[in-house]
Structure 1
Amino acid sequence: MSYNQNAFTNLDQDVTKSRIDKYHKSEPEVKQWLFKILDVPQQDIQNYNNHGEDLISILKSGILLCKLGNLLNIPQNPTTKFKNSKMPFVQMENISFFLKTCEMIGVPHDEIFQTVDLYDNKDPYQIIITLISFSRRANEINSSIPVIGPKVAKIKPPVPNKPINLRS
């Protein structure tokens, strides 16, 4: 059987586009949350905006991520070891410190981005997912940290009864 497929994109391209669209939709809220929670000076926010920097470029050095991790008072917090450097190895190490902190506080493994997702801009939406999940777990540890994104349901909704004609 022969099918005449008249598609201009493949599934991988469609999924990538969908994730990038979700990133652009969520990015302003996450940036605002990050700036507020870290008490970033208005002048720095203006500089980021004037240079057209998106969330990925702002987080690439790992410094803001480590400062975010430092808001949690947990023992042996790896983010306390961060360094301010322009060297790629040091920046990737800063990112990995944050990712270890995410693991320590119980962010689900499938919601944690890989270093290359951020550093090489491979999957920007995964960074959003990680930060949303981080905010939930961090809020449980430190209630002064607000939660971003959808809230986790604490109570399961009731399952409706089967219609009478479908019961055995």
Structure 2
Amino acid sequence: MANRGPSYGLTREVQSKIDKKYEAELEERLVEWIVVQCGVDKPAPGKIEFQNWLKDGIVLSELINSLYGDKKPIKTIKKSGMVFKQMEQISLFLKAAETYGITKTDMFQTVDLFEGKDLAAVQRTLMALGSLAVTKDDGCYKGDPSWFHRKSQENKREFSDEQLSEGKNVIGLQMGTNRGASQAGMSYGRPRQILNNP
């Protein structure tokens, strides 16, 4: 990890906008859920403490393993002081979360957490993970289900061949209608004449 000095100008503005997306109330709810789900110690409140708590990837790995039930996707979870090992642990979490069903657009990048670039993205990923766990309802989710919203479910419908053929005879309202149409009162004017001038 490079040692960076203070940022100025546009870089500072962009980072300021990213930092404003971070929600302290959401942090509280996520910490409470992770503590209940994994049985880990609760960190002190605050953005920096939240980052340091998740930064080594251990808590995240415990979290994703607890959602899988018996089949643990991350076989070995080792605490390490080496930066590349910690980043590798975060990458293992992200891979397991994607396998669990989190979309790529909901995922944070490793540097977002490790370097604290975008902790709001980390919150969004954890929210998506919690929502998916509540929606799956497979018995692995622990905690209050009202902490997360349920994702929409498929509502598949089956139609018989007779119903499908009936539907072909109906003109949908998007097609328009000719009911009440007439040409009464329409004035067309004189037809255009072509003059041949010699």
**CA displacement at 1:109 relative to structure 2:** 0.6
Aligned to 2:166: none
* In 2: Cα distance, 1:141 partner to 1:87 partner: 37
Aligned CA distance change for structure 1 residues 99 and 50 (closer, same or farther; 3 Å): closer
Shift of 1:152: 3.0
Give the distance between the partners of 1:104 and 1:38, measured in 2 at CA: 19
Shift of 1:154: 4.6
How many residues are aligned here?
A: 143
Question: What is the CA-CA distance between 1:32 and the residue it aligns to?
Answer: 1.3
Instruction: Please give the residue correspondences for 1:2-151 in structure 2 after superposition, counting only pairs within 5 Å.
Output: 13=13, 16-25=15-24, 26-40=26-40, 44-45=41-42, 48-49=43-44, 54-71=49-66, 72-73=68-69, 75=71, 77=73, 79-139=74-134, 140=136, 142-145=138-141, 146=143, 147=145, 148-151=147-150
Change (3 A) 1:121 1:153: same
Gaps in structure 2 of 5+ consecutive residues: 1-8, 156-198
For 2:122, give the aligned amino acid.
I
Does the 8 Å contact 1:99/1:112 carry over to 2? Answer: yes
TM-superposed deviation, 1:12: 8.2
Contact 2:132/2:151 (<8 A) preserved: no
Distance 1:66 1:109, change over 3 A: same
RMSD: 3.2
Deviation at 1:142, TM superposition (A): 3.3
- Between 1:145-154 and 1:99-108, the stretch displaced more is 145-154
**Kindly tell me: are residues 115 and 141 of structure 1, through their superposed partners in 2, closer, same or farther at Cα, counting changes over 3 Å?**
farther
Paired residues of 1:62 and 1:94 also in contact (CA < 8 A): yes
1:129 is displaced (CA, Å) by 0.5
Q: Do the aligned partners of 2:65 and 2:72 also contact (CA within 8 Å) in 1?
A: no
**Contact 1:82-1:97 at 8 Å conserved across structures:** no
TM-score norm. by structure 1 comes to: 0.70
Q: Is the 8 A contact 2:127 2:148 kept in 1?
A: yes
- 1:80-130 CA-partner distances (Å, limit 9, x unpaired): 232211111110111001000111011011000010000011100000010
Structure ID, larger Rg:
2
Q: Which amino acid aligns with 1:37?
A: Q
1:5 paired residue number: none
Bigger proportion of residues as helix: 1
Q: Secondary structure of 2:111's partner?
A: helix
Find the aligned partners of 2:93 and 2:123 in 1 and give their Cα distance. 14
